[in-house]
Every structure is written in structure tokens, then in C-alpha cells.
Structure 1
Amino acid sequence: MTHTDRTTPRSTATDLRGDGLDARIVVERGSFRLDVALAAAPGEVVALLGPNGAGKTTALRALAGLVPLSGGHLRLDGATLERTPPEARPVGVVFQDYLLFPHLSALDNVAFGPRCRGASKAEARAVAAGWLERMGLAEHAGAKPRRLSGGQAQRVALARALATRPRLLLLDEPLAALDARTRLEVRGGLRRHLDEFEAVAVLVTHDPLDAMVLADRLVVVEHGRVVQEGAPSDIARRPRTDYIAQLVGLNLYRGTAQGHTVRLDAGCSITITEDLSGPVFVAFRPSAVTLYRDRPDGSSARNLWCCQVAGLQTHGDQIRADLTGELPLAADLTTVAAAELGLHPGATVWATVKAAQTHAYPA
């Protein structure tokens, strides 16, 4: 997966100079401890990415003031917010299920925030109408939430969050409730609105595509701590945990390099094109794996392993074979190739990968 560069340059966390978000979020609940540092400049979109239970939603709720901090700090544009109640924070939130008020029209849902900040009813409605116009929803201003499609409800929720001109926008799985077709359309619209947003945005998601498309920077959280962060393209090329490798569709191994050979922690070796020394990661795509039912005669492939088929599943327009044995790995092949090989769970196969198809980098 690749990340499309934004059309205008964005700030980075190193450009903060007192503005933007500077937080260390420590939350302790029983045996679980969340300890995540976050920094973001105005105009930057940061995605918290991680498996269920990693703590990313807890982090988002702590930023919103809905979960108290056990430690750490929270500063936004230089102001300390730890003791500021949720309703007084310059924060807008878009929840996974939108949480629109069912008895209010789209217009009055969006006007709710400005009204709470002291605007008159007429002023708040004027602001709301402007936001609905920007979202392409002017003709639905009088509709109640039950009459809106999922995509329309998401845009109303986003307009409601933006109508108060927040300095921090929090998005909790904003596309999760949408079907695949609507998700594609709304993702593009959300990207455009985030491009125009001048403050900090923090997105929580478990979907790598949402993160890659919408965010300037990814912060990957596992078991309550940050395991990797950086630009989407860098993380996609150089994953550092099995979870990230699976997200971006790579086989990933750790080992020790000596020249062009990496002795894996799993016990076998991989030949690489890079000349490295010391602890490294080695990654390659499932599509780089070639399978044979019999050991290939006269094969010059140095990366050759005997494996067993543990499972088969449809993966896009291909079949993904999960293999165990000398080197556990995933291999992608066409339906025709899978039929010709007679693949089935328990079958023995030989797997090869060319050194040129591997990518090694320091651990």
C-alpha cells in the first residue's frame, strides 16, 4: 500500500514551537497500562493504529476528557488541559456510531455545538447551514438522522464536530459503520476536509487503508505502548512487528545478518541482496513466493524451504496459502496455480523466494 502525498506541504511534529498537541497519555485500569506519547503540529493528521484492545480508543477518550489520566500531561497550543472538563476543551469528536441527536434535524445537530459555546440560535443555525453546504448536505438540513444514509450521517457528525472550530479533532473509527461502497466515497470526502483543517486531527482506526489514505503520520500501538511511528510509506516498507507486517501484507522475520546471509531466529537462513551485519528484519511479499509440489530439480534458488499447507483462503482475486514447516510464511497464487498444484491443508510443498525479492533492514 502507498500513501499519496498531499498537494500542499504539512507541518511536522518537530515544528511545534508551543502550538499543536503535546501529550503523554498514561491510563491505568487494573492490569492494563496505557502509556503513549503523542505530538502533532497544527494541520497534521495523526492516526493511532492497532489491534483491538491495544488502547487506542482509551487514548482518544483521554484526549477528549472522557477518561481521566493516571499520569502524564496534555497540552494543546501551550494550554494545559488535564483538569479542564470535556465540555470546556477546544476539542471536536466524531464517534464511530456518530451519536447524532435523533430528535433534532441535521441543521440543529450541527448547531448544537455553537449554541453550547454561547452563540444565539440564529447565529448557530447560520454556522450550521454553512457547514452543511460545505459537506454537500444543504438539501438535507431539515432531515432527522433516521432519514439519512450512513455516509450522510457521517458528514453531519463531522460538520457538528467542526462547527465549534476545535483546535483538536478526534475521529474514532469514523468509517467503520459504512458499507464498502459508501466507505470508498466518504473516505475521499473526509480526506479533502482534513486537508483543509488547520488544527490537529487524531484518527483512531484498525483499518490500514483508512490510516494510509487519511494520515500524515502513523503511531502504531500494541499492548498499551507505541511500537512504531512514522510516515505511512516508511511503516509500510519497514514494519517492525508481526501485527504491522500482516496489516501491510508482508512476511516478516527477525534474525542476525552476516554479509548476504541472515540467520533467522526461527532457525533457518535467508539470502538477501543487501550486505548487512547484526540484528535485522527481513520482509517479502506473499506474491514473491513460488510454490512447487516436488523439490525443484537443479534449482539455483538459495531460499528454498520445505513447508506444509496449514490453510487456504481467498485473498482478493488470488488464493493465499498459509504455510508451516521450515519457515512459516504466506504465499499468494492464482486460483489456476492452486488447482494445478492440488493444494489442500496438510499437503507438502516447496517454497522459494529470490534474494532480489527480499528487503532487509536493521532491527
Structure 2
Amino acid sequence: MTGLETALDTAPDAAPGLDAHLVVARDAFRLDVHLTAAPGEVVALLGPNGAGKTTALRALAGLTPLGGGHTRLAGVDLEDPGRRRYTPPERRPVGVVFQDYLLFPHLSALDNVAFGLRCQGVGRREARVAAAEWLERVGLAEHTGVKPGRLSGGQAQRVALARALATHPRLLLLDEPLAALDARTRVETRATLRRHLADFDGVAVVITHDPLDAMVLADRLTVIEAGRAVQDGTPAEVARHPRTDYVARLVGLNLYRGTASPGGVELAAGQRLVVAELPDAAEVFVAFPPSAVTLYRSRPDGSPRNLWQVEVDGMELHGDTVRVELTGPVPLLADVTPLAVAELELAPGRPVWAAVKATEARAYPA
């Protein structure tokens, strides 16, 4: 047992699974993100391309040294530039499943899984026995002698997962684990991966840009944009209360920020949104789904309390409905049926009236 393993095994039970402050500067980009997770917790680091997700993964793995901050696992410092502490990747109790899996093409599935154990000094026979057990766990007992080139995408992903788990890591990192799979395989593999993550007693961090992968796989989401964390919470909390336009688009909501006033919210552009209930806060977000937006060819009778004349900017098929992008005093997304598209004669540049009931708009503190 190494000194690091001894330190991890003797760390106080109250120590957090993962406590990281990742600071990395690269050219004009700077990552500055706090990331915490308890043992047994799956955290998804969600964000658009270029947000810094892969940089964060490489920093946690020790592949990219920190410029500041720290990485602690079970209360033990793996890295702390301020104290000149740095644990190289091969000495960290970290397993990584890379986006392209990075299986050794000349090795069988069995020897790919055994590789990490052999690097830890485990004997060849013992490593192969353990590897066979892990392949059985992931449903690949009949594929021990198969090389990566003859495996399907889902099978290769499971081999990479078994290789990462076989070394009994305290931290498991998965970089876009389902991105290389086709749509059908992705559904099956996502469910399988979720079951394996549920059985993992260490900390798991999933790096993804796909909101569905994040919502299904993770217990908690940390959303990053431009190298900064912009939101953290359970999938349900993030979906109900988005705090940026990026998150709102991911979960399919219209989102606005403004100042609460009696009966409504004053938006920055001078428009007003009437809502049924207001929180006890001065600055608030207001959100509602595109399905809550009703479109009319002419100004409707009764004058709904939230009513604007807008213009169709674009349309695209969205499941069984058509998502209409609208520009005007309050930019909107609206979901309508294909029949409504025909009846309203919707087309780019077409002026329409948009209405939202006050009871459909949800306000929460900014």
C-alpha cells in the first residue's frame, strides 16, 4: 500500500469525497470552478463546447496541472499549488473513461481491463482473474478474447468502464461517455451506465454537453459557461429554475430576469410580465414553457394580461410539435401543432400576437 493510499484509508470519515477548486489559465481562457461531491454521488459537469469541461476533467485527473486552487479527495490533498503539492496522474486513485475510450487495439478486452491492475503491480494471473470478473459484471463475459476493433460502440464503452473500475478508484471521471454512440445504442447504454454508477461507492464526475445524459446519470448538476460555474443543484432544481439562457434553452423554457413589482416583473427592456405569484425578492427570474405561449393572427378578444405583437424569426420540428422562434419586445419560443402552423400561415417575417397566462409564468429569486 502506498503512502497516498494509506492517507486516503485513514482520512476522517467526515472528510468530503471530493473538494476541488480548479483554477487553470490557458492563453485567453481561464477556468475557475469549485466542485464538491460526496462518496456515492454522481455529479454531471454540464456546459456548451468550450466551457472548460474537458479542462476540468484533465485537472482532476492530474493531466493538466492547476495554476491555483486545490484538489482534495477524502480529505487528502492531491494537488495544492500554493503548498507546492502535486500528485502525478499515475499515483492518483482516479479512473478515467475517455470520450473515445482509448482501448489498446492490440489487446483483448480481458487484457485491456487487466492493464490498469498490472500498472498497480498486480500479478498477471491475478489481474486477469479480476478483469474477467469485471467483464462479467458489465455483461461481456463472452467477449474476453475479443479485440476492440470487433466490439460494438456500446461494448467498447463497457470495456473502458470496467478497466476504470477494476482499479477501485476513489474518483471516477467520464468524459462524454455516450457521445460516440448511435441513438439506439445510446438509450440502452445510458440505462446500463446508470446502474453501474449507482453501485459505485466513490465519487463519479460525468462530463457532458447533453442535458438528457446529465439528467439521467447524475444526482447533481454543476453547469459551467466560459470557465465559471453558473448553476448547481439537482436535475429537478436546475430544470425548474434555470439561471442563464443556456440552461433555459437546454431544459426548454423561456427565461427572463427583472425587478419584482406589485403583480408582475419589470424587465430590463421596459416590458412587464404579469405573474400569479411573486417570491419575496427584489430581483427575480420568470420562466414558462414554450407550450404556454398561444399565438393569434390578430389581436385576441379579452386582451390577455401578457400580450405582445411579435414576428416569426424561424421554425423547426420539435418532436410532435413545431417550435417557433419569435422576436419582438419580449423574445419568445412557442410550441404549436403543424395544423396551427398552417392555419396561422406562419412563416419567417410573419407578424403574430403572442399571449401567456399569468398562471403559467413562474417567478423565483435571482
Q: TM-score, normalised by structure 2?
A: 0.93
Query: Aligned to 2:293, which of 289, 292, 297?
Result: 289
Is 2:275 the partner of 1:278?
Answer: no
Query: Aligned to 1:81, which of 78, 89, 93?
Result: 78
| Contact 1:16–1:41 (Cα < 8 Å) also in 2 | no
Instruction: In structure 1, give the amino acid aligned to 2:14.
Output: R
1:186-205 correspondence runs (5 A)? 186-205=189-208
Instruction: In structure 2, give the amino acid aligned to 1:103.
Output: H
Partner of residue 100, structure 2: 97
Deviations 1:330-353 (A, max 9, x none): 000111111111100000000001
Is 2:46 the partner of 1:49?
Answer: yes
Q: Distance in 2 between matches of 1:50 and 1:312?
A: 25
Task: Measure how far apart 1:16 and its partner are.
Answer: 7.3
| Contact 1:307–1:351 (Cα < 8 Å) also in 2 | yes
Q: Distance in 2 between matches of 1:25 and 1:232?
A: 23
Q: Distance in 2 between matches of 1:217 and 1:67?
A: 25
Q: Distance in 1 between matches of 2:223 and 2:302?
A: 40
Is 2:180 the partner of 1:177?
Answer: yes
Query: Aligned to 2:117, which of 114, 118, 123?
Result: 114
Partner of residue 344, structure 2: 341
User: Aligned to 1:192, what secondary structure does the other structure show?
Assistant: helix
Partner of residue 235, structure 1: 238
Q: Distance in 1 between matches of 2:45 and 2:269?
A: 30
Is 2:161 the partner of 1:161?
Answer: no
Partner of residue 254, structure 1: 257
Q: TM-score, normalised by structure 1?
A: 0.94
Structure 2, unaligned stretches of length 5 or more?
1-11, 80-85
Is 2:42 the partner of 1:38?
Answer: no
Deviations 1:91-149 (A, max 9, x none): 00000110100000000000001111111111000110001001110111111101000
Task: Measure how far apart 1:80 and its partner are.
Answer: 1.4
Partner of residue 64, structure 1: 61
User: Aligned to 1:75, what secondary structure does the other structure show?
Assistant: strand
Query: Aligned to 2:310, which of 307, 312, 330?
Result: 307
Q: Distance in 2 between matches of 1:104 and 1:266?
A: 61
Task: Measure how far apart 1:309 and its partner are.
Answer: 0.3
Instruction: In structure 2, give the amino acid aligned to 1:284.
Output: F
Q: Provide the alpha-carbon RMSD of the alignment.
A: 1.1
Task: Measure how far apart 1:267 and its partner are.
Answer: 2.0
Partner of residue 8, structure 2: none
Query: Aligned to 1:124, which of 112, 123, 127?
Result: 127
Structure 1, unaligned stretches of length 5 or more?
1-14
Instruction: In structure 2, give the amino acid aligned to 1:333.
Output: V
User: Aligned to 2:157, what secondary structure does the other structure show?
Assistant: helix
Is 2:216 the partner of 1:219?
Answer: no
Number of residue equivalences: 348
Q: Distance in 1 between matches of 2:153 and 2:269?
A: 46
Q: Distance in 2 between matches of 1:359 and 1:290?
A: 17
Partner of residue 363, structure 2: 360
Instruction: In structure 2, give the amino acid aligned to 1:207.
Output: D
Q: Distance in 1 between matches of 2:238 and 2:13?
A: 23
Instruction: In structure 2, give the amino acid aligned to 1:80.
Output: D
Task: Measure how far apart 1:50 and its partner are.
Answer: 0.7
Partner of residue 7, structure 2: none
Task: Measure how far apart 1:275 and its partner are.
Answer: 3.4
Partner of residue 266, structure 1: 269
